[in-house]
């Protein structure tokens, strides 16, 4: 449900789109921090069924609130190409983004599905509370990066390289954590890195495909995230069972994480090179007398 909302809401918020895209994920960050402190007592005091009923009630409340959203997109598209979003695949950079996103999502799902088990395996007390710092850190990451992007002119492609390096290295660093404080730092920086990525994803995709194809780009990104989750769970689960160790799953995440960082770097370099060539081409076109006269006339 959340992925579907993120994929389409960008058409409703045409102004301040990047800010909205970064802050729309604050709720999950708060939820990751607060819900373990609510659900664990409910499950321990009653049952798993009560815990899931509590979550179901939150979904019902969200659905009721969504009924009051009546604003529609000002842009109406009825073509098959826009409906399927297939045009995004005509951009070479989106292919590299797809591979990097797939690998990064695999790392994230391995982390989410195994971090609590790994902490219990190491005898960490209250692992849910230690993990919950991930949520607050993700909010901090989004807020800081949104502020930084508003105050500086750092290129979004360079920022995305930084995001991948911080997020992926922090997440698969769980393979080398053994104590409570190590896990606290690892969970904090993992959430911080994921927050950085989420704060820049929409703007990065805008740079690749443009505003008209942004919903399709977000949709396919989320689709790849789901495919990566399925594949990563199968691979990491098989490795963990073979070696009888949850930590082995994090060694798998190292491979995915390194691939994600490598493809992200290549993709950002391609974007920077493309924009540099476009600027050179534009500069050459301005040197043509007729075009220069037209541009001077338009400025007048």
- Asked if 25 and 200 touch (Cβ cutoff 8 Å), the reply is no
Q: What is the DSSP string of 23-60?
A: HTTHHHHHHHHHHHHHHHHHHHHT-HHHHHHHHHHHHH
Distance CA 144, CA 18 (A): 13
Domain presence at residue 100: yes
pLDDT, mean of residues 190-205: 83
Other C-beta atoms closer than 10 Å to the C-beta of 293 total 10
Q: How confident is the model at residue 298 (pLDDT cuts 50, 70, 90)?
A: low
Q: How many domains does the chain have?
A: 1
Q: How confident is the model at residue 256 (pLDDT cuts 50, 70, 90)?
A: very high
How many angstroms from the chain centroid is the CA of residue 271?
A: 19
- Asked if 222 and 144 touch (Cβ cutoff 8 Å), the reply is no
Please state at what angle helix 289-299 crosses helix 247-286, rounded to 10 degrees.
Answer: 100
Q: Is the pLDDT of residue 149 over 90?
A: no
Contacts of residue 86, Cβ cutoff 8 Å, sequence gap at least 6: 216
Read off the pTM: 0.74
- Asked if 169 and 223 touch (Cβ cutoff 8 Å), the reply is no
Domain presence at residue 73: no
* Poorest-pLDDT segment among 80-84, 188-192, 228-232: 80-84
| pLDDT on residue 223 | 84
Q: Is the pLDDT of residue 264 over 60?
A: yes
Q: What CATH number is attached to the domain comprising 237?
A: 1.20.1250.20
- CA proximity to 18, closest of 206, 168, 266: 206
Domain that holds residue 174: 2-6+14-65+88-294
pLDDT, mean of residues 252-272: 94
Domain presence at residue 178: yes
Q: Does residue 175 or residue 214 have the better pLDDT?
A: 175
- CA proximity to 197, closest of 233, 243, 162: 162
Domain presence at residue 79: no
Domain presence at residue 165: yes
Q: Is the pLDDT of residue 74 over 60?
A: no
Domain presence at residue 270: yes
What tens digit of pLDDT does each residue of 100-118 get?
Answer: 999 999 999 999 888 988 9
Q: Is the pLDDT of residue 70 over 80?
A: no
Domain presence at residue 286: yes
- CA proximity to 197, closest of 144, 234, 241, 238: 144
- Asked if 78 and 210 touch (Cβ cutoff 8 Å), the reply is no
What tens digit of pLDDT does each residue of 21-69 get?
Answer: 656 666 666 776 777 778 888 888 888 888 888 888 887 887 777 676 6
Q: For Cα atoms 223, 29, 186, give the angle at the middle one, nearest 5 degrees.
A: 90
| pLDDT on residue 6 | 54
Domain presence at residue 93: yes
- CA proximity to 108, closest of 10, 191, 211, 25: 191
Structure tokens at 168: 């992926």
Average pLDDT, the chain: 80
């Amino acid at each position: 449900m959340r992925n579907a909302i993120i994929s389409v809401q960008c058409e409703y918020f045409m102004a301040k789109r990047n800010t909205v895209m970064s802050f729309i994920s604050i709720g999950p960050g708060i939820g990751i921090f607060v819900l373990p402190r609510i659900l664990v007592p409910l499950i321990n005091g009653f049952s798993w069924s009560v815990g899931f009923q509590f979550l179901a009630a939150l979904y019902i409340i969200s659905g009721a609130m969504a009924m009051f959203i009546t604003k529609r997109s000002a842009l109406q598209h009825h073509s098959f190409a826009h409906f399927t979003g297939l045009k995004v695949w005509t951009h070479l950079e989106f292919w590299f983004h797809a591979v990097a996103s797939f690998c990064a999502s695999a790392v994230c799902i391995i982390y989410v599905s195994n971090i609590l088990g790994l902490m219990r395996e190491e005898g960490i007390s209250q692992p849910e509370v230690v993990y919950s710092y991930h949520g607050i850190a993700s909010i901090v990451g989004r807020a800081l990066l949104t502020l930084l992007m508003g105050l500086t002119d750092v290129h979004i492609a360079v920022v995305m390289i930084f995001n991948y390096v911080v997020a992926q290295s922090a997440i698969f660093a769980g393979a080398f954590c053994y104590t409570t404080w190590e896990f606290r730092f690892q969970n904090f920086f993992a959430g911080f890195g994921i927050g950085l990525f989420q704060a820049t994803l929409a703007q990065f995709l805008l740079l690749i495909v443009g505003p008209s194809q942004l919903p399709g780009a977000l949709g396919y990104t989320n689709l790849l995230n789901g495919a990566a989750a399925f594949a990563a769970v199968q691979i990491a689960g098989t490795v963990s069972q073979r070696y009888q160790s949850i930590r082995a799953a994090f060694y798998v995440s190292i491979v995915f994480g390194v691939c994600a960082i490598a493809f992200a770097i290549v993709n950002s370099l391609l974007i920077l090179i493309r924009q540099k060539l476009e600027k050179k081409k534009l500069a050459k076109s301005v040197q043509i007398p007729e075009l220069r006269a037209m541009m001077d006339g338009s400025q007048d």
